[in-house]
């Protein structure tokens, strides 16, 4: 069977494959959209700081295998994102700015967009390719993580690479398919490449998570088509051996150095499956309920596109539409079974939703061109879409932070955008139509990020306090020790902003370490810990954050103390190591000289 691509192109004379100009256009659009995070003025969040700070510690200590947190093993995820972040910092020559650690994420997101656009164009034509790339870039969840220095966007690239390569390989002409079906036989190099890519999906997040994301749509597609010949191509010893070698190399190496890491992986993996890890437990319908927000603003349009593909997907074996349907739904359905869920778990599965959205946009444009003139006018767009949104903004206006003119401007901009979107959607030129719609969406996202950075950044107050604490340490000539036992991951961003001279302790009992020789030190911890510090000597509070994210009381706020040690304080020798479970607060201890 030879794969014949349906041409969904609406631009007369266009070729099926993407051109260099198309990739350049996507690169420019994504550079503007994702690049705003480099200059938008947002500080690192608690979760976002995990990757940069652990990479920073690895780089400083010339440690290439084990990510660390305050010097302790932080082994929940493999270190490929850390390696890439270290490379970025090495090229720039510094490791102390947000844009340096966010740059790799923006580049990784761009590469993901280009891969999805290329695959979609290979299947459906140039217009579908361009629209698929643009839809993926503007999916709310994808854009958010393209702005963040987190590991999830790296996993999205790895999963997309593996699935997309399968998509290219599976829809080649029949002549390129292998003849051998022996379990130990030979296969073309492309099959081996796919197995290598599949193994790489285990290099960026929890063990087996990315691999499952990549295998599920492939497996569903194979079973739905029920072709033993095609299935046997992937029942190959050497291919699965290559996958296992790549996927297991890091876990095995880490187990040799930290045998007790198995307890951590067991807790995290099976805790999410069973519900023991209660912090992320969600009902079975969680992903279905959150899809409209995850793929916003394309949800309804994606449903339209999915419906347009339904007949071909159901009736035509080995069709791209059938594969997209498998990619759309199977990971969501399977990952709805475990108790542990989070919206960003679906980030690696957004590519098919972007393709469905692209098809939906084409169908919507074809359909809308036949509407009456009055319904296609900018006035109709402002009346039916812009006005309800403006009313919602008007009601929310009194509680919006910032100057009083912000809600007024937001209402005007909202009406203007909906009017221009209606005008662009129905323009006789499909190019102008797409440029208008995606340009307005991108502009809205960029403006929203800048506004949120100034008025909704929950980390701003704390971060400025950390910067003041760093200056206080310099002025007083005293080292600042950070309490890593904060019952949160805030220690990562604290250390990132305090700079290279900051030190850390696993918990406050480690301030009795015999290696601390200074008679007085600075301690950054929560304000409520002052009583514990008083057991060690004289304590003076030098400052306190005005507001701390998720604080339950003022005692939860971060504070800087000067601790002057008692001369009769008994010192202790620190334990040789902190276990991975203890480093991640999954297990109590160790304590130095007894618990406070």
pLDDT tens digits, 364-391: 888 877 777 766 677 776 776 767 776 7
Count of domains observed in the chain: 5
With beta carbons less than 8 A apart as the criterion, state whether 157 and 108 touch. Answer: yes
Residue found by looking up tokens 């699965």 in the block? 240
Domain boundary among 401, 421, 454: 454
404 — pLDDT class (breaks 50, 70, 90)? low
What is the pLDDT, as a whole number, of residue 437? Answer: 84
454 — pLDDT class (breaks 50, 70, 90)? confident
245 and 217 in a single domain? The answer is yes
300 and 190 in a single domain? The answer is no
What is the pLDDT, as a whole number, of residue 9? Answer: 54
Residue 4 is assigned to a structural domain of this protein: no
Mean pLDDT of the chain: 89
**Sign of CA pseudo-dihedral 299, 300, 303, 308:** negative
422 and 307 in a single domain? The answer is no
505 and 427 in a single domain? The answer is no
The pLDDT of residue 571 is above 60: yes
Q: Can you tell me the mean pLDDT for 462-489?
A: 95
397 and 381 in a single domain? The answer is yes
At 386, give phi and psi (nearest 5°).
-65, -40
27 and 127 in a single domain? The answer is yes
pLDDT tens digits, 67-100: 999 999 999 899 999 999 999 999 999 998 999 9
Share of the chain above pLDDT 70, in %: 91
**End-to-end distance of the chain based on CA atoms, in angstroms?**
72
The pLDDT of residue 347 is above 80: yes
Share of the chain above pLDDT 90, in %: 66
List Cβ<8 Å contacts ≥24 apart for 224-230.
224/322, 224/326, 225/317, 225/318, 225/322, 227/317, 227/318, 229/181, 230/170, 230/177, 230/318
Three-state SS for 515-584 is: CCCCCEEEEEEEHHHHHHHCCCEEEEEEEECCCCCCCCCHHHCEEEEEEEECCCCCCECCCCCCCHHHHC
d(CA 259, CA 272): 22
Domain boundary among 422, 454, 486: 454
Residue found by looking up tokens 């190496």 in the block? 253
Is the entire prediction scored with pTM above 0.85? yes
Q: Minimum mean pLDDT among 62-71, 415-424, 480-489, 537-546: which range?
A: 415-424
pLDDT tens digits, 522-570: 999 999 999 999 999 999 999 999 999 888 899 999 999 999 999 999 9
31 and 60 in a single domain? The answer is yes
Among 389, 402, 274, 394, residue whose Cα is nearest residue 338 = 274
pLDDT tens digits, 243-284: 999 999 999 999 999 999 999 998 888 877 777 777 788 999
d(CA 114, CA 110): 6
13 — pLDDT class (breaks 50, 70, 90)? very low
Domain residue limits at 136: 21-150
357 and 375 in a single domain? The answer is no
Domain boundary among 237, 269, 301: 269
14 — pLDDT class (breaks 50, 70, 90)? very low
Residue 116 is assigned to a structural domain of this protein: yes
d(CA 469, CA 71): 21
């Amino acid at each position: 069977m030879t794969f014949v691509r349906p041409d969904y192109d609406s631009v007369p004379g266009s070729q099926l494959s993407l051109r260099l100009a198309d990739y350049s256009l996507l690169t420019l659009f994504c550079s503007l959209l994702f690049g705003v995070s480099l200059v938008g003025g947002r500080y690192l969040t608690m979760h976002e700081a995990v990757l940069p700070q652990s990479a920073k510690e690895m780089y400083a200590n010339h440690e290439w295998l084990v990510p660390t947190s305050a010097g302790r093993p932080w082994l929940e995820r493999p270190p490929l994102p850390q390696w890439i972040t270290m490379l970025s910092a090495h090229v720039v020559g510094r490791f102390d700015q947000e844009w340096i650690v966010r740059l790799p994420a923006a580049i990784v997101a761009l590469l993901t967009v280009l891969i999805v656009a290329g695959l979609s164009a290979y299947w459906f034509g140039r217009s579908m390719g361009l629209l698929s790339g643009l839809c993926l870039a503007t999916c709310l969840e994808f854009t958010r993580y393209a702005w963040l220095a987190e590991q999830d966007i790296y996993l999205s690239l790895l999963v997309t690479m593996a699935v997309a390569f399968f998509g290219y390989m599976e829809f080649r002409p029949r002549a390129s398919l292998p003849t051998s079906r022996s379990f130990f036989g030979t296969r073309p190099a492309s099959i081996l490449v796919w197995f290598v890519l599949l193994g790489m999906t285990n290099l960026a997040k929890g063990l087996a998570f990315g691999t499952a994301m990549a295998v599920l749509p492939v497996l569903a597609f194979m079973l739905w088509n029920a072709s033993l010949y095609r299935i046997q191509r992937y029942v190959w010893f050497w291919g699965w051996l290559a996958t296992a070698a790549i996927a297991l190399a890091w876990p095995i190496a880490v187990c040799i150095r930290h045998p007790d890491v198995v307890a951590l992986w067991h807790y995290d993996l099976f805790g999410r499956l069973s519900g023991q890890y209660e912090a992320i437990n969600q009902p079975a319908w969680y992903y279905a309920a959150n899809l409209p927000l995850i793929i916003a603003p394309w949800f309804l349009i994606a449903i339209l596109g999915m419906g347009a593909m339904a007949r071909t997907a159901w009736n035509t074996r080995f069709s791209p539409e059938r594969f997209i349907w498998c990619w759309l739904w199977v990971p969501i359905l399977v990952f709805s079974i475990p108790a542990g869920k989070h919206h960003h778990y679906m980030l690696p599965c957004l590519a098919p939703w972007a393709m469905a959205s692209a098809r939906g946009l084409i169908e919507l444009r074809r359909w809308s061109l036949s509407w009456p003139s009055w319904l296609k006018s900018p006035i109709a767009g402002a009346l039916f879409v812009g006005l309800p949104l403006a009313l919602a903004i008007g009601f929310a206006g009194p509680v919006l932070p910032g100057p009083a003119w912000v809600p007024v401007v937001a209402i005007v901009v909202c009406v203007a955008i909906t009017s221009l979107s209606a005008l662009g959607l129905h323009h006789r030129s499909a190019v102008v139509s797409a440029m208008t719609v995606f340009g307005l969406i991108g502009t809205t996202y960029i403006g929203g990020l800048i506004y949120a950075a100034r008025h909704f950044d929950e980390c701003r107050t704390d971060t400025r306090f950390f910067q003041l604490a760093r200056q206080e340490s310099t002025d007083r000539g005293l080292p600042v020790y950070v309490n890593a036992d904060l019952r949160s991951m805030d220690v990562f961003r604290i250390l990132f902003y305090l700079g290279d001279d900051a030190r850390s302790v696993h918990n406050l009992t480690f301030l009795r370490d015999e290696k601390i020789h200074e008679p007085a030190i600075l301690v950054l911890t929560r304000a409520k810990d002052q009583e514990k510090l008083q057991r060690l000597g004289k304590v003076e509070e030098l400052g306190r954050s005005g507001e701390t994210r998720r604080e339950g009381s003022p005692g939860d706020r971060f504070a800087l103390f000067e601790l002057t040690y008692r001369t009769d304080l008994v010192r202790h020798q620190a334990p040789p190591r902190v276990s991975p479970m203890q480093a991640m607060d999954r297990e109590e201890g160790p304590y130095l000289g007894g618990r406070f």
